[in-house]
C-alpha cells in the first residue's frame, strides 16, 4: 500500500509543476485534464502526508521513551505515544478507502426516473411523494433540478417522471436509491380506513455525455405528436411532443413538457443517452465476477429496497437493516443518515474483497 501511495504522491507533485507550466496552460484541454487529475489526488495525498508525519512522530516518541530516565517524563512520553498510536489505524483505514477504485460515474449528474408500480392511484400518489422527497433532498444539497418529462394523474399523482439532477457528487449520493420503494398506509382515495401496500420504482442513471455514448442518426426514429395532459386532453395543437426510438435496443423515450419541439428533442436525447449508458454498464457488470451482488444491492429495478410505513412512522431500508422512526422528516428530504449508511456499508464490503 505504501509503495502505491508513494507513486501517487510523486504523480501529484509532478502534476503540481505541470499545471503551473505556461506551455501546458496554453493548451487548455490538457491543462483542464491535469487540473482534474491533480484535484482527484489532492485528498489522498493530503491524508498520506498526515500519515507519514504521524509515523515520524511515533518514532520520535519511541526514541524519547528509550532515552528518558526520569519517571515523570517517561510517563508523559508513554501517554503521548499511546495517543499517537490511537490515531494510526483510523488513518490507515481512511487511506485504504481512498485507494479503492472509484466509480467513474460518481461525479456525474443524475437522471432519475420514478414510476408508479402496483397499487393504482395510491401508487401514483406515493410516486409523487418520492418525487417531492428527492426534489427536497436536492434542494438541501444545493443541486439544480429540471423535469425532463412527466405523466401525471388527475389527482396529482405521478405515473412516470424523469428528473435531471445536477450537482457535485449527485450520482455518488443517489446511486443506491434504485429499486422498488414500498408504502404501507391508508390511501387518501379510500374511506374504509384499511392499510394498503403499494409501490413505486426508482431508477438512478448517470447522465451520459455524447463522448460516453455514440448514437448514429440511422439508429434512431423520431416521431412528433401533439402533447397531452392528465386524462388525455390535448394541451396544444402544435406537434411539439417528441418520441425517439433507438432501433438497435428498442428503447423508447418521449418528452412533451416543453412547448418547443427542439427542446423536447434535446431532453429526449439526453434521457436516451443515459439509458443506453446504463444498459451498457449493467451488461458489463453482469459479466464481471468481482461485481457480484453486494449487501446494498445491485441496482436491480425489481429489488425491493425500502418500506415507508405510515401507521408506525417508520422507514426501513431492507438492504442494511436500518429502521428510522421519523418518516415525515425522511419524506421532507432528510435522507443523509440512510444514504451515509448505504455508502459506508458499500465501502466496507469493497474493503473485505480487497483484503481477502
Burial status of residue 71 (CB atoms within 10 A of its CB: 0-12, 13-18, 19 or more)? exposed
Q: What is the pLDDT along the chain (356 residues), one digit of tens a residue?
A: 788 888 889 999 999 999 999 999 999 889 988 998 898 889 899 999 999 999 999 998 888 888 877 888 888 888 888 999 999 988 988 888 888 777 888 888 999 999 999 888 999 999 999 999 999 999 999 999 999 888 899 888 999 999 999 998 899 999 999 999 999 998 876 766 788 899 999 999 998 877 678 888 898 898 887 766 554 444 555 678 889 999 999 999 988 877 888 888 889 888 998 989 888 887 766 654 444 445 465 445 567 999 999 999 999 999 999 999 999 999 999 999 999 999 989 888 877 766 65
How far is it, in rounded angstroms, from Cα 232 to Cα 356?
Answer: 57
Structural domain boundaries in the chain: 2-99, 110-289+297-349
Integer angstrom CA distances of residue 183 from 126, 137, 188, 197: 7, 19, 13, 6
CA–CA–CA angle 103, 107, 108 (5° rounding):
100
SS3 125: helix
In this predicted structure, what is the pLDDT of residue 301? Answer: 55
In the prediction, which pLDDT does 354 show? 63
- Residue 286 has a pLDDT of 65
Which tens digits make up the pLDDT trace of 90-128? 898 888 888 877 788 888 899 999 999 988 899 999 999
Q: What is the model's pLDDT at position 237?
A: 54
- Render pLDDT for 178-195 as a digit per residue (tens, 0 to 9): 999 999 998 876 766 788
Q: Tell me, what's the pLDDT at 103?
A: 80
The pLDDT of residue 236 is 52
Residue count (the chain) = 356
Strand, coil or helix: 281: helix
Is residue 224 within 8 Å of 230, Cβ to Cβ? no
* SS3 (DSSP) at 322: strand
**Triad 198, 203, 206: Cα angle to 5°:** 165
- Beta carbons within 10 angstroms of residue 61's beta carbon: 19
- Residues near 316 by Cβ (< 8 Å), separated by ≥ 6? 306, 307, 309, 322, 323, 324
For domain 110-289+297-349, give the fold. Answer: Alpha-Beta Plaits (3.30.70)
Count the neighbouring beta carbons within 10 Å of the beta carbon of residue 12: 19
* pLDDT recorded at residue 305: 94
Tracing cell 411539439 back to the chain, one arrives at 240
User: What pLDDT, on a 0 to 100 scale, did the predictor assign at position 291?
Assistant: 41
Per-residue model confidence (pLDDT) at position 94: 85
The reported pLDDT for the residue numbered 283 is 76
Amino acid at each position: 500500500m505504501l509503495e502505491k501511495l508513494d507513486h501517487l504522491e510523486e504523480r501529484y507533485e509532478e502534476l503540481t509543476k505541470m499545471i503551473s507550466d505556461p506551455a501546458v496552460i496554453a493548451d487548455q484541454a490538457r491543462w483542464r485534464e491535469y487540473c482534474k487529475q491533480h484535484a482527484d489526488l489532492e485528498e489522498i495525498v493530503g491524508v498520506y502526508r498526515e500519515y507519514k508525519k504521524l509515523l515520524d512522530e511515533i518514532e520520535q516518541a519511541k526514541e524519547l521513551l528509550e532515552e528518558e530516565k526520569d519517571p515523570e517524563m517517561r510517563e508523559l512520553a508513554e501517554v503521548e505515544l499511546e495517543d499517537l498510536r490511537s490515531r494510526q489505524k483510523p488513518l490507515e483505514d481512511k487511506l485504504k478507502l481512498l485507494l479503492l477504485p472509484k466509480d467513474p460515474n460518481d461525479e456525474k449528474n443524475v437522471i432519475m426516473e420514478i414510476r408508479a408500480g402496483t397499487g393504482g392511484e395510491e401508487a401514483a400518489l406515493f410516486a409523487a411523494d418520492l418525487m417531492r422527497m428527492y426534489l427536497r433532498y436536492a434542494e438541501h444539497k444545493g443541486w439544480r433540478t429540471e423535469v425532463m418529462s412527466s405523466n401525471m394523474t388527475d389527482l396529482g399523482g405521478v405515473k412516470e417522471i424523469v428528473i435531471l439532477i445536477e450537482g457535485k457528487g449527485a450520482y455518488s449520493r443517489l446511486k443506491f436509491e434504485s429499486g422498488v420503494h414500498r408504502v404501507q398506509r391508508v390511501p387518501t382515495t379510500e374511506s374504509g380506513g384499511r392499510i394498503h401496500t403499494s409501490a413505486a420504482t426508482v431508477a438512478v442513471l448517470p447522465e451520459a455525455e455524447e463522448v460516453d455514448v455514440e448514437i448514429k442518426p440511422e439508429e434512431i426514429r423520431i416521431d412528433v405528436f401533439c402533447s397531452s395532459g392528465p386524462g388525455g386532453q390535448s394541451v396544444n395543437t402544435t406537434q411539439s411532443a417528441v418520441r425517439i426510438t433507438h432501433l438497435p435496443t428498442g428503447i423508447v423515450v418521449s418528452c412533451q413538457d416543453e412547448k418547443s419541439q427542439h427542446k423536447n428533442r434535446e431532453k429526449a436525447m439526453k434521457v436516451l443517452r443515459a439509458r443506453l449508458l446504463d444498459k451498457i454498464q449493467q451488461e458489463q457488470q453482469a459479466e464481471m465476477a468481482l461485481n457480484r451482488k453486494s449487501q446494498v444491492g445491485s441496482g436491480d429495478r425489481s429489488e425491493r429496497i425500502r418500506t415507508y410505513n405510515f401507521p408506525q412512522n417508520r422507514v426501513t431500508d431492507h438492504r442494511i437493516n436500518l429502521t428510522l422512526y421519523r418518516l415525515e422528516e425522511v419524506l421532507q428530504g432528510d435522507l443523509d443518515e440512510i444514504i451515509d449508511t448505504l455508502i459506508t456499508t458499500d465501502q466496507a464490503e469493497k474493503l473485505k474483497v480487497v483484503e481477502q
